[in-house]
């Protein structure tokens, strides 16, 4: 994980502080000024006042509670949804404290939306896990994410692309307003998408895909051994170390080992290409970028950590059209390029900042508090670092 820190001349800061009459005001000016940071700071102040909210016992994760069911846990669930603001204080229900009624179902769906869960109205294991998280834990989660804001540069760019790994979402923000929002697929736990910032410089339509060597031996080689026609069926060209084309049917793949894999696999453009119809390039040390995918059915899932590290974007041509507006391209022109099926690279007139971040708590533009699962388990070590003394004995 790589932070893009705000730049500060500490000597200059200290000199200004010694000459300031209102030191507190000056220190506050050193905080991030983005509205999303300010919202989160206000939430922390609210939680500070409410964190000692009585007993918060753990509710059993099963069985699931469906609308119309009667269950002893319903009364406590109702109180927790009131606490978090998903259920109005005056909503008293039917009078049966155990009944999962219509008002409660509406509140449960609202809670599920705020937590990135399947919005089905069923109080299942995932929803109960989220309901079981105490206000004190949520408070620490907010503190962790406030710290992440302090790692970012002061200026994210008037227009920029923001990917939230833990939220499985991409947004384009222009003049502090969200103008595009798309679900994304991020890296699996053992191939995590990194945190960093860069600039999108160009787009490649109908791209080829050169399989990274590690993926070729770990992912593709087992598939090739299981299905001799795999490479041909999916449109791969095989090259040897001298860059000569190799007929895959002439290779005894059963004898090829990971250590002895001496081939380069290149998948041609087409509907089966792993990068889909377009990729968004910002060359970086991680070899990570945004791209389309032929596996679009995965976007319907609430948890979307399925990739090998790159970020797959739903409906990526919408993003392409927005980014290329200033470069003189219309959506019709983009569709024509894709329909032609030939590889084409288009440079942006002005590179656009892209920030790949990891947020597990935020307040959105509708003033709704959002929490997400810590899919890469990054919150505990961050909390420990924040709690550690500045100087060891």
For the question of residue 291 being annotated catalytic, the response is yes
In whole angstroms, give the CA distance from residue 365 to residue 329.
30
Judge whether 75 and 98 are in contact, CB under 8 Å. Answer: yes
Is residue 278 packed enough to be buried (19+ CB in 10 Å), middle (13-18) or exposed (0-12)?
buried
| Catalytic position from the list 115, 160, 291, 355 | 291
Q: Which residues pair with 239 in a beta bridge?
A: 245, 264
Is residue 87 packed enough to be buried (19+ CB in 10 Å), middle (13-18) or exposed (0-12)?
buried
Length of the chain: 393
Q: How far is CA 225 from the centre of its chain?
A: 34
363: closest CA among 6, 139, 40, 17?
Answer: 40
Phi-psi category of residue 367: left, alpha or beta, with phi > 0 → left and psi -120 to 50 → alpha: left
| Catalytic position from the list 115, 160, 310, 355 | 310
Annotated catalytic residues are: 291, 310
């Amino acid at each position: 994980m790589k932070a893009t820190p705000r730049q500060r001349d500490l000597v200059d800061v200290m000199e200004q502080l010694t000459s300031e009459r209102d030191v507190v005001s000056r220190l506050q000016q050193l905080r991030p000024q983005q509205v999303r940071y300010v919202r989160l700071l206000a939430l922390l102040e609210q939680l500070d006042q409410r964190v000692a909210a009585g007993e918060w016992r753990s509710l059993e994760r099963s069985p699931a509670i469906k609308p119309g069911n009667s269950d002893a846990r319903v009364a406590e669930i109702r109180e927790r949804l009131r606490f978090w603001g998903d259920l109005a204080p005056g909503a008293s229900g039917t009078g049966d404290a155990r009944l999962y009624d219509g008002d409660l179902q509406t509140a449960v769906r609202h809670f599920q939306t705020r937590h990135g869960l399947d919005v089905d109205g069923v109080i299942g294991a995932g929803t109960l896990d989220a309901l079981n998280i105490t206000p004190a834990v949520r408070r620490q989660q907010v503190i962790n994410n406030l710290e992440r804001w302090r790692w970012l540069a002061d200026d994210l760019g008037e227009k920029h692309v923001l990917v939230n790994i833990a939220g499985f979402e991409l947004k384009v923000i222009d003049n502090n307003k969200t103008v595009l929002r798309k679900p994304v697929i991020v890296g699996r736990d053992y191939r995590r998408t990194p945190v960093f910032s860069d600039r999108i410089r160009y787009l490649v339509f109908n791209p080829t895909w050169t399989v990274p060597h590690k993926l070729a031996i770990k992912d593709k080689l087992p598939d090739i051994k299981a299905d001799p026609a795999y490479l041909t069926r999916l449109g791969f060209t095989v090259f040897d170390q001298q860059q000569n084309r190799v007929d895959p049917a002439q290779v005894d793949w059963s004898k090829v080992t990971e250590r002895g894999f001496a081939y380069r696999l290149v998948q041609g453009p087409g509907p089966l290409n792993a990068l889909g119809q377009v990729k968004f390039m910002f060359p970086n040390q991680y070899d990570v970028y945004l791209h389309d995918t032929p596996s679009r059915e995965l976007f319907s899932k609430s948890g979307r950590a399925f990739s090998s590290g790159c970020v797959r974007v739903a409906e990526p041509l919408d993003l392409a059209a927005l980014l290329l507006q200033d470069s003189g391209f219309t959506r019709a022109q983009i569709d024509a390029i894709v329909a032609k099926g030939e590889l084409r690279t288009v440079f942006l007139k002005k590179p656009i900042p892209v920030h790949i971040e990891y947020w597990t708590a935020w307040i959105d533009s509708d003033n709704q508090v959002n929490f997400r699962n810590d899919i890469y388990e990054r919150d505990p070590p961050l909390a420990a670092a924040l709690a550690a003394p500045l100087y060891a004995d």
